[in-house]
Protein backbone atom coordinates (compact mmCIF):
# COMPACT_ATOMS: atom_id res chain seq x y z
CA UNK A 1 0.00 0.00 0.00
CA UNK A 2 2.77 2.40 -0.94
CA UNK A 3 0.76 4.53 -3.36
CA UNK A 4 3.42 4.22 -6.06
CA UNK A 5 1.43 2.13 -8.54
CA UNK A 6 1.29 4.93 -11.10
CA UNK A 7 5.10 5.16 -11.11
CA UNK A 8 6.25 1.56 -10.58
CA UNK A 9 4.87 -1.74 -11.84
CA UNK A 10 5.24 -4.76 -9.51
CA UNK A 11 7.92 -6.39 -11.70
CA UNK A 12 10.02 -3.20 -11.48
CA UNK A 13 10.25 -3.63 -7.71
CA UNK A 14 11.33 -7.29 -7.58
CA UNK A 15 14.79 -7.64 -6.00
CA UNK A 16 15.12 -3.84 -5.69
CA UNK A 17 16.78 -2.51 -2.54
CA UNK A 18 14.77 0.34 -1.07
CA UNK A 19 14.99 2.49 2.06
CA UNK A 20 12.07 2.01 4.44
CA UNK A 21 10.93 3.26 7.82
CA UNK A 22 9.65 0.56 10.17
CA UNK A 23 8.03 0.47 13.60
CA UNK A 24 5.36 2.96 12.58
CA UNK A 25 2.07 2.93 14.40
CA UNK A 26 -0.12 0.49 12.44
CA UNK A 27 -2.88 2.13 10.41
CA UNK A 28 -5.36 1.03 7.81
CA UNK A 29 -4.70 2.19 4.24
CA UNK A 30 -7.43 1.21 1.79
CA UNK A 31 -8.52 -1.47 4.28
CA UNK A 32 -5.03 -3.02 4.61
CA UNK A 33 -2.92 -2.61 7.76
CA UNK A 34 0.38 -0.79 7.13
CA UNK A 35 3.38 -0.51 9.48
CA UNK A 36 6.13 0.42 7.00
CA UNK A 37 6.87 3.44 4.78
CA UNK A 38 8.97 3.33 1.60
CA UNK A 39 11.17 6.43 1.37
CA UNK A 40 10.83 8.29 -1.92
CA UNK A 41 11.44 11.71 -3.42
CA UNK A 42 8.56 13.60 -4.98
CA UNK A 43 9.40 16.07 -7.76
CA UNK A 44 6.12 17.47 -9.00
CA UNK A 45 4.21 14.46 -10.31
CA UNK A 46 7.32 12.23 -10.40
CA UNK A 47 8.03 9.71 -7.64
CA UNK A 48 11.51 8.24 -7.25
CA UNK A 49 12.18 5.50 -4.68
CA UNK A 50 15.32 6.15 -2.62
CA UNK A 51 17.88 3.39 -3.10
CA UNK A 52 21.39 2.68 -1.79
CA UNK A 53 24.12 3.52 -4.31
CA UNK A 54 26.09 0.39 -3.27
CA UNK A 55 25.08 -3.18 -2.52
CA UNK A 56 24.09 -3.50 1.15
CA UNK A 57 22.63 -6.34 3.20
CA UNK A 58 18.87 -6.42 3.53
CA UNK A 59 17.94 -4.93 6.89
CA UNK A 60 20.90 -2.53 7.02
CA UNK A 61 20.21 0.52 9.18
CA UNK A 62 19.49 3.83 7.44
CA UNK A 63 21.31 6.63 9.26
Asked whether the whole model's pTM tops 0.85, one would answer: no
How far is it, in rounded angstroms, from Cα 36 to Cα 15?
A: 18
Helix (H) or strand (E) holding 46: strand 46-49
User: What pLDDT, in 10s, does the model give residues 23-57?
Assistant: 888 888 888 888 888 899 999 988 999 999 999 99
Amino acid sequence: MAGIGDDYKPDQLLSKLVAIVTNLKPRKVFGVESEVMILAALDGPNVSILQPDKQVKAGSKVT
